Amino acid sequence: MWKALLFNSIWMGITIPILLSVVFTILHPLLVFEYSGVLMIVVTLIIGIIDVYLAIRIWTWIEGKFFERKLYM
């Protein structure tokens, strides 16, 4: 259990800043005209949810590979 939590926290700590900088760079023309910040919050939430989903999917794949090789965690 703790290994999954550690993997997810490291994964999100590395990938979320990269993803946010890439997405906000691409969407910069759209974000310039919106002054309330709601669009930024929505984009951040969507990126965060997608990143958590990917981290969980990658961890289950890694865990499955370890169980196939009988290297139990």
In a domain, 63, yes or no: yes
In a domain, 54, yes or no: yes
Domains in the chain: how many in total? 1
pLDDT tens-digit series, residues 8-65: 999 999 999 999 999 999 988 888 888 888 888 999 999 999 999 999 999 999 988 8
In a domain, 73, yes or no: no
Its pTM stands at 0.78
Please give the residue that has the higher pLDDT: either 1 or 12.
Answer: 12
Task: Render 3-63 in DSSP notation, one character per residue.
Answer: HHHHHHHHHHHHHHHHHHHHHHHHTHHHHHT--SSHHHHHHHHHHHHHHHHHHHHHHHHHH
Q: What is the pLDDT of residue 73?
A: 56
Q: Band the pLDDT of 71: cuts 50, 70, 90.
A: low
Q: What is the pLDDT of residue 22?
A: 94
In a domain, 25, yes or no: yes
In a domain, 35, yes or no: yes
